[in-house]
Amino acid sequence: MNTQTRFRKTRELGARVSNSDSFIEEVTEEVKRDKLFAQMRKYGPIAVALVLALVGGAAWNEYRSAQDRATAEAAGDAIYDALAQTEPDARAQAFAEMQLEGDASAIAALMSAATQVEAGNNAAAQNILSALANDAERPAMYRDLAEFKAAMLIEDDPAAQIAALEPLAAPGQPYYLLAMEQIAYARLALGETDTALTVLRQIEEDAASSRGLRERVQNLLIALGEPLPEPVTQ
> Fold for domain 155-229?
1.25.40
Task: Look at residues 108, 226, 20 and name the one whose alpha carbon lies nearest to residue 217.
Answer: 226
pTM for the whole thing? 0.61
Question: Cα 175 to chain center, whole Å?
Answer: 19
Q: Please give the pLDDT value at position 230.
A: 60
SS3 228: coil
For 56-112, write each residue's pLDDT tens digit.
Answer: 666 656 656 665 565 566 666 666 666 677 777 777 777 776 766 667 778 888 888
Q: Please give the pLDDT value at position 217.
A: 92
- Rounded to 10 degrees, the C-alpha dihedral 97/103/107/113 comes to 60
pLDDT in tens, the chain (234 residues): 555 555 455 555 555 544 455 545 555 666 566 665 565 566 556 655 566 666 666 665 665 666 556 556 666 666 666 667 777 777 777 777 676 666 777 888 888 888 888 878 888 888 888 988 888 888 888 899 999 999 988 888 999 999 999 999 998 899 999 999 999 999 999 999 999 999 999 999 999 999 999 999 999 999 888 876 665 454
| Residues whose CB falls within 8 Å of the CB of residue 12, separated by 6 or more in sequence, listed in order | none
Q: Please give the pLDDT value at position 232.
A: 45
Q: Please give the pLDDT value at position 7.
A: 46
State how far the alpha carbon of 222 is from the alpha carbons of 109, 188, 192, 214, 215, in Å: 38, 14, 17, 12, 10
d(CA 120, CA 24): 97
What are the boundaries of each domain within the chain? 49-153, 155-229
